[in-house]
A and B are shown apart, each in its own frame.
Chain A
Amino acid sequence: MVGLLLLCVALAVLPLLAILGTLVVKGASSINLAFFTQLPKPPGEAGGGVVHAIVGTLLMVGTAALIGMPVGIAAGILTAEWQGSRLAIVTRFIADVLNGTPSIVVGVFAWTWIVATQKHFSGFAGSAALAVLMIPMVLRTTEEMVKLVPNSLREAALALGFPRWRTTLLVVVRSGLPGIVTGSLLAVARIAGETAPLLFTALGSQYLNVNLNRPMAALPLVVFTYGLGPYEDWHRLAWATSLVLILVVLVLSIAARFATRRRFDAPR
């Protein structure tokens, strides 16, 4: 029985190790200073980098987080603090449906509403699609974290004469903050790797571009286009980019772990 369990554990852990191993073997050799500072070279020339995609991903994911986090956190607090209200029940249901919506569908939606009406692809359309994906994730984790705060703390604050909003912000949200930050960072990590919604919105680009109103490159898009391309050099860049993407997710997850550490150590 224990052997079976250990086998299952190994099967669960193996893919991550295999992925990391493959990426390091195939991609690590292409990662150098040029990879982070240069644009891709024309086909046939060796070297070059993906600085345009790094900048694009940072800008688009950053903008998506700026939209998605406040909206998700605020909505999460609402659904948790007014648990039984019809508004909370409907919001929760919609968030669950949205959470299960395939990301490519969100991409098509953003294409219809933003790209098609503006008549051009843009980084902002990509951000909007990513924000839509992020909101339900942030909402649900925020809600769970706020619900974990014991009701006795709420009562204590109310009995001290705190107004309700102050109770919510200073006691309830502050007690649940580490979890909310963790959830938000994990949501950022999730959307940083999304490819499908960006295909319809940001499109990708060969150039360094910081204008969100124009087509923009992104790390997952580089993996997609270069990985499918016919050139060996492109493949190497795609492997290296995959490795960087995984590392970004890893770093964000570790940062999330640190954020969970409380200001004070837990009671002994």
Chain B
Amino acid sequence: MPPAEAPPRVRTRNVTAWYGKNAAVRDVSLDFSPNQVHALIGPSGCGKTTFLRCLNRMHEEIPGAHADGLVLLDGEDIYARQVDLRRLRRRVGMVFQKPTVFPTMSIFDNVAAGLRSNGRLDRRTLTSRVERALQVAALWDEVKDRLRGSATALSGGQQQRLCIARTVAPEPEVVLLDEPTASLDPQGTQRIEELLFQLKQRFTIIIVTHNMQQAARVSDTTSFFYLGELIETGPTRRMFTAPEQEKTEAYITGRFG
């Protein structure tokens, strides 16, 4: 565990995210420390995914959507005009709810996709970085003999770990996960959860989940969202044992949501 005074890797101040004239997220200010797993929880439609997508500026890819407020990555405003979106997204990687392997590419090419778009790499560097990424994602042993094979032939859980490998291959600083286990069976879910403990050694992890047990199991800090607002944030243990807000308590004890 890093010292508590480690400066936050990501800071948000008064982030408000819009779909047209609808604010789906209002005035969220949060800090995310490095080498920790941060869980964003709350009922469906509470804005947690939308907020997550503001952190790598994927929110604005939806027609009519935009965000206000301040998002700082290592102190730099990621919404500043001179920011290179492509570089930002290499520093802040994202894993989606359903596995999104590229069906036309082999397992190797899937992992290499982000590395290649980063500029030319010689074969040996590329191969070793793909191998490293697959090891980080705990997939190497299962696919090392069929790197040239189809990525869509993998199981759902393997595909999701392949997506994690693809995301971590360019060595981002922050990894965003949007309900990464929502489409997986319990076994696949467990493997991803175990993986998060490894990943946080190297990255800042922010995970959206509506599975409260999952948040309790894997995260160091938890933030509770409700109707687009941040209700409460704190160390996971305290959030689940002694929440300060009544709404948080009602949600984690299953009285609504």
A residues apposed to B, CB below 8 Å: 84, 152-153, 155-163, 166, 170-171, 174-175, 177, 262-268
Determine if B150 and A160 form an interchain contact, defined as CB atoms under 8 angstroms apart: no
**B215 interface residue, CB < 8 Å from A?**
no
Complex: chain B residue closest to A158, CB-CB:
B61
Chain B hits for A84, CB < 8 A: 63
B87 at the interface (CB under 8 A from A): yes
Known contacts A161-B117, A162-B117; 19 further A-B pairs (Cβ under 8 A): A152-B98, A155-B58, A156-B163, A158-B58, A158-B89, A159-B93, A160-B93, A160-B167, A160-B170, A161-B86, A161-B114, A174-B102, A175-B102, A177-B104, A264-B103, A264-B104, A264-B149, A264-B151, A264-B152
Interface residues on B, range: 20 to 34
Of chain A, the residue at the smallest CB distance from B148 is A264
Q: Given the complex, which residues of A lie within 8 Å of B56, measured CB to CB? A: 159
B70-116 CB contacts (< 8 Å) to partner A: 85-90, 93-94, 96, 98, 100, 102-104, 106, 113-114
B residues lining the A interface (CB < 8 Å): 56, 58, 61, 63, 85-90, 93-94, 96, 98, 100, 102-104, 106, 113-114, 117-118, 149-153, 163, 166-167, 170
Can you name 15 A-B pairs with beta carbons within 8 Å? A152-B98, A155-B58, A155-B96, A157-B113, A158-B58, A160-B93, A161-B86, A161-B88, A162-B113, A175-B104, A264-B149, A264-B150, A264-B151, A264-B152, A266-B152
Once A and B bind, how many residue pairs between them come within 8 Å at the CB atom?
A: 79
- 9 smallest CB-CB distances across A and B, nearest first, come from A264-B150, A156-B100, A161-B89, A159-B94, A160-B114, A161-B90, A161-B86, A267-B152, A174-B104
Q: Which residues of B contact A163 (CB under 8 A)?
A: 86, 117
A residues in contact with B149, CB < 8 Å: 264
B170 touches which of A157, A161, A174, A175 (Cβ 8 Å): A161
A159:B58 contact, CB within 8 angstroms: yes
Q: Is the CB of B118 within 8 A of A161?
A: yes
Residues in A neighbouring B61, C-beta threshold 8 A:
155, 158
CB <8 Å contact, A265 and B153: yes
CA distance A159 to B153 in the complex (A): 23
Residue of A nearest to B105 (CB): A174
User: Quick one: given A153-B100, A174-B104, are A159 and B89 in contact (CB under 8 Å)?
Assistant: yes
Q: CA–CA, A140 to B98, complex, Å?
A: 29
